Chains A and B, each alone.
Chain A
Amino acid sequence: MSKRTATVTAPPMPEAAHGLDLLRTMLLIRRFEETCAELYSAARIRGFVHLYVGEEAVATGVMSALGPDDAVLSTYREHGHALARGLPVDALMAEMFGKETGCSRGRGGSMHLFDKSRRFVGGNAVVAAGLPLAIGLALADKLQGRDRATVCFFGEGAAAEGEFHESLNLAALWRLPVLFCCENNLYAMGTAIAKEHAQPDIALRAESYGLAAWPVDGMDVLAVERAAQRAVEAIRGGAGPHLLELRTYRFRAHSMYDPDRYREKAEIERWKERDPIDALVASMRAAGQLDDAGLEALRDEVAGLVAAAVDAADQAPFEPVENLTRFITSEAGPEGGQR
């Protein structure tokens, strides 16, 4: 018998200040990505760029439940994760431009954002390849007796990969402090979930491996935050790994290359009615926590941050070509000095 818990119902409104923080983060992600799309069309950003528009509540809610010592593993669709984790907008935009001031010194681009100081162990662009890393990070914490959680994001498409099954089994077998966050946006590139999974209920499958798992409304940032807090608290208390299936939707194409031929416009429009930003704005207005002027001020604030980041990235230097082969091996050399 499944012990599954229904989606947490109607969480109470948080303090206004906290609601504004969540809203600011979601607005920042949205603005950052809309700017990325424009810059891409203007050929100032290249490579693969995967936008998160529509899914902002997931990263924002989950990150809000974490502490600074927790580790985060992300995918190629990671601008939202990085921004919500607090990586500086300037460093992220510079990375899009491939500049030396980027969070990965320009070597990664959109798909490989890293920040050691925030334990953001980056963007993995091989589907499901981050899950085994999460196992190892959590194992290291367990072996060293550190009270930290490791959070690993991936899509529902990744749940068809072997790494998903191997990693969930290992996490449960070793009772590791991991929170798996499956962002179920119903598509893996152009393949709809009904065509990828015989059993599309990802949380149910996680339960079968012995994890505590439940579905969450991924368009509701407060529901996501509550679920993540509950899971992380349980994990810290030694309850073992958890999986949240965050039910969400991407409003834009899979990547900037994708002509988006595989879904109905009407389906996209229906989901847009559940825009996570509009939803939070509406609840905050209803609770008397936000008015037009307040919303306008927030929009201006994030627009200013992103515009300044674009300017800074534009001005920033490229890494000199002489440095091409830096970081193939560590510059510090062997532990304890020369061999």
Chain B
Amino acid sequence: MTATLVETTYREALRAAIRQAMLQDERVFLMGEDVGDYGGCFAVSLGLLEEFGPERIRDTPLSESAFVGAGIGAAIGGMRPIVEIMTVNFSLLALDQIMNNAASLLHMSGGQFNVPLVIRMTTGAGRQLAAQHSHSLEGWYAHIPGLRILAPATLEDARGMLPTALRDPDPVLIFEHGSLYNMKGSLPDDAGAVDIDRAAVRREGADVTLITYGGTLGKTLEAAELLAADGISAEVIDLRTLRPLDDATFIGSVRRTHRAVVVDEGWRSGSLSAEISARIMEQALYDLEAPVARVCSAEVPMPYPKHLEDAALPQAATIAEAARRSMRPAAG
């Protein structure tokens, strides 16, 4: 039987993944603020309460630390919980549970207590939500040993990362960029699990490697179009998994193009972009023809007005400009 393509959205792909996991495995349940009656604050779980009931589509009170910790406890107790945190901004209230329990228990217990937990949350800026609702902190989480960090940027990954994450014996955090939920496209009707180990080449090119993930993949692909119009062939790497990083894919690309631009919606200082840049330095310095460039968010708490928010975030034009600079002799 050959698969037919169906129109879908990022949001629907996530929902289909949750639904299928719930149907296939009794141990899976979804828990978080407003996942039930409200349908999820980004409508990802809309309709699932009606299908699976309140035990398995479990609304929680506003208690991030307790329900994330409860997810950890339930995972240890033999369940396969999916915990939804409304957004990364509020995950800070559960940071202790994520870091000191989920990520540490296996090691601290000498290998006895693994935590098969999946935590999903929205990340990112771009919707004029100002300083407290616009963080991109996935890079912070990627700092923590014991966690696997995923950033689905495509419909395939929105559909396919969750089932693979649920089979992982250890905690996995999935970051869904808020600008992606309405992204439209088509998926085969039998689309399913994808790998969660490898970065992907989203566009092949020969002159410069643009490395990004999640919400900035679209802007980076646009930048590659702009560059193509100037005769510059850009390769675009989607990291997909932010921890553990798949060095081989982006280092391999940089060895071929000799130039790299890292695009990250997080702040620059002490960031994931800094880590990637350092790894290129460590593993491919002598292949470089220009310093590694970075396009990150301006180091301000996100301002509300659109023109200031736009100026604070990486944009296709600024990404393309950074790539052009790295193409010039004596770049910098």
Contact = CB atoms under 8 A, between A and B. Distances in A.
A132 interface: yes
B111 A136 contact: no
A332 B169 contact: yes
Contact of A140 (B68, B73, B113, B164): B73
Contacts of A107: 107-110
B146 A108 contact: no
Interface stretch (A122-130, A200-208, A303-311): A122-130
Nearest to A107: B110
B112 interface: yes
A326 interface: yes
A136 B70 contact: yes
Nearest to B171: A329
Nearest to B97: A132
A327 B148 CA distance: 14
A255 interface: no
Among A104, A129, A134, A328, chain B packs the most CB atoms within 10 A around the CB of A328
Contact of B67 (A126, A170, A326, A328): A170
B88 to A, nearest CB: 19
Interface residues of A, number: 49
B73 A326 contact: no
A25 to B, nearest CB: 23
Interface in B231-268: none
Contacts of B76: 121, 133, 136-137, 140
Contacts of A286: none
A126 B77 contact: no
A45 to B, nearest CB: 18
B20 to A, nearest CB: 15
A189 interface: no
A122 B108 contact: yes
B109 A104 contact: yes
Contacts of B100: 124, 126, 129
B164 A339 contact: yes
A217 B74 CA distance: 32
Nearest to A167: B66
Interface stretch (A55-63, A109-117, A228-236): A109-117
A273 interface: no
Contact of A129 (B56, B96, B170): B96
B296 to A, nearest CB: 28
Nearest to B105: A122
B69 A104 contact: no
Given A135-B66, A139-B70, A169-B63, A330 B170 contact: yes
Given A112-B109, A121-B76, A140-B78, A328 B101 contact: no
Contact of A136 (B69, B107, B114, B116): B69
Contacts of A329: 106, 146, 148, 169-170
Among B55, B169, B195, B197, chain A packs the most CB atoms within 10 A around the CB of B169
B113 A166 contact: no
23 contacts: A71-B77, A103-B110, A104-B110, A105-B111, A112-B109, A121-B113, A129-B100, A132-B66, A132-B69, A132-B97, A133-B69, A136-B75, A139-B74, A140-B76, A143-B29, A163-B66, A169-B61, A170-B60, A328-B106, A335-B116, A335-B167, A339-B196, A339-B197
Given A137-B73, A327-B107, 16 more contacts: A105-B110, A105-B111, A108-B108, A132-B66, A133-B101, A136-B74, A139-B70, A143-B79, A166-B63, A167-B69, A169-B66, A326-B107, A332-B169, A334-B168, A334-B169, A335-B168
Interface of A: 71, 102-108, 112, 114-116, 121-122, 124, 126, 129, 131-141, 143-144, 162-163, 166-167, 169-170, 173, 326-336, 339
